[in-house]
Amino acid sequence: MKQRTIKKPVEIVGIGLHKGVPVTMRLEPLGSDMGIVFHRSDEGLSIDLKPENVVNTKMATVLGKDDVVISTIEHLLSAVYAYGIDNLKIIVDNDEVPILDGSSSGYCMLIDEAGIKELDKSKKVMKIKKEVVVEADGKKVSLKPSSHIIYDFAIKFDHPVIGEQQFHFDYSLEEYKEQISRARTFGFLHEVQYLRSIGLAQGGSLENAIVLDDNKILNPEGLRYDDEFVRHKILDAIGDMSLLGYTIVGEYKAFAGSHKLNHLLTKKLLADPKNYEILDLELAKSEDKVFKLAFAKANS
């Protein structure tokens, strides 16, 4: 199996979640072994997608370099990761990625428009060898060995609409598009009001997020899935794990996980080379053949 990029450049204009201003985003193909690279065209600065370039995880995953940032990258990266894209240049003319409808389905459509191109070099993946766990304040995220790509997430909110939810996602591209990509980000009305008071969430609306008051959902169209909230948490986690630079062969599991814990998990995993193995799918050993075939089928 070969590395992937997109066939042709594509461009979209959308609103940034926090500043509420139009952002032009352009996706361009890159060659083998070049990775995912963000570029601020208004600043003339590129930032590689690496855990060490994460500068903030409070409201979103934010990359930064030399006081230049690119925010709210996780939804786009979730789609890029789901399509198995290894090499891509992402160009924006402001400090945010467009929020679109608060899910990753718009990015999936953009990638479908661009098409997928296989490159000359073989694809490499990160196989989890040892369990790695991060816990804080009753919240927990972990990665452990598995021959599949699995995301298992549980949440618990003291809210009548959300309550306790759990979702187990065994990766395939088609299942991602149907079960995960349409799940929107969500927030509570009092949080939105506070964020706006400090100059954030200026672009947030019922068009790009599920908003709840103390008792109900304010969006007139309701939910896309009964458990849309936990599905979006999986969408976020897939985007956050893309910071590792490889598709992960293993099981991600979380209870009340967050961007911050996901970032700490990537750092802890990379801190010890015994935690993982970089596997070349063209040179896969016999014990990895099952995964190789499953991965090829899931991405077909």
Residue 28 pairs with which residues in a beta bridge?
89
Is 39 an active-site residue?
no
**What span, in angstroms and rounded, lies between the C-alpha atoms of 257 and 128?**
19
Query: Given this chain, do its domains 2-122 and 124-298 carry the same CATH topology?
Result: no
**What span, in angstroms and rounded, lies between the C-alpha atoms of 76 and 111?**
10
For strand 36-40 and strand 88-92, is the pairing parallel, antiparallel, or unpaired? parallel
Domain boundaries, the chain: 2-122, 124-298
Neighbours of 194 (CB within 10 A): 12
Residue 122 pairs with which residues in a beta bridge?
2
What DSSP assignment string belongs to 3-29? EEEESS-EEEEEE-TTT--EEEEEEEE
> pLDDT grade, residue 228 (50/70/90)?
very high
- Using CA atoms, how far residue 191 sits from 74, 197, 215, 237, in Å, is 20, 10, 15, 21
Q: Encoding tokens for residue 71?
A: 């925010």
Q: What is the mean pLDDT of residues 194-219?
A: 84
**What span, in angstroms and rounded, lies between the C-alpha atoms of 206 and 238?**
24
Residue 288 has pLDDT above 60, yes or no: no
Residue with more model confidence, 194 or 245: 245
> Among the options 18, 75, 232, 259, which is catalytic?
259
Q: Which CATH number fits domain 124-298: 3.30.930.10, 3.40.710.10, 3.30.1700.10, 3.20.20.120?
A: 3.30.1700.10
Q: What is the dihedral of CA 79, 299, 109, 183, to 10 degrees?
A: -50
Burial class, 52, CB count within 10 angstroms (exposed 0-12 / middle 13-18 / buried 19+)? exposed
The residues, any chain, with a CB within 8 Å of residue 71's CB and separated by 6 or more, are 16, 17, 18, 56, 60, 62, 95, 96, 97
**What span, in angstroms and rounded, lies between the C-alpha atoms of 17 and 60?**
10
**What span, in angstroms and rounded, lies between the C-alpha atoms of 108 and 76?**
8
Residue with more model confidence, 293 or 186: 186
Residue with more model confidence, 234 or 298: 234
Residue 294 has pLDDT above 80, yes or no: no
Least confident among 14-23, 35-44, 68-77, 232-241: 14-23
Give percent of the chain with pLDDT exceeding 70: 93
Fold observed for domain 2-122: Ribosomal Protein S5; domain 2 (3.30.230)
Residue 291 has pLDDT above 70, yes or no: no
Q: What is the mean pLDDT of residues 205-218?
A: 93
**What span, in angstroms and rounded, lies between the C-alpha atoms of 94 and 121?**
33
φ and ψ of 225, to 5 deg: -140, 150
- Using CA atoms, how far residue 136 sits from 103, 144, 179, 262, 264, in Å, is 27, 18, 29, 12, 11
Q: Encoding tokens for residue 279?
A: 């596997």
**What span, in angstroms and rounded, lies between the C-alpha atoms of 117 and 85?**
9
Tell me, rounded to whole angstroms, the distance of Cα 21 from its chain centroid.
22
- CA-atom Rg of the chain in angstroms: 18
pLDDT at 18: 73
pLDDT tens profile 75-117: 999 999 999 999 999 999 999 999 999 999 999 999 999 999 9
**What span, in angstroms and rounded, lies between the C-alpha atoms of 5 and 86?**
6
Least confident among 91-95, 167-171, 285-289: 285-289
pLDDT tens profile 244-281: 999 999 999 999 999 999 999 999 999 999 999 999 98
Tell me, rounded to whole angstroms, the distance of Cα 267 from its chain centroid.
16
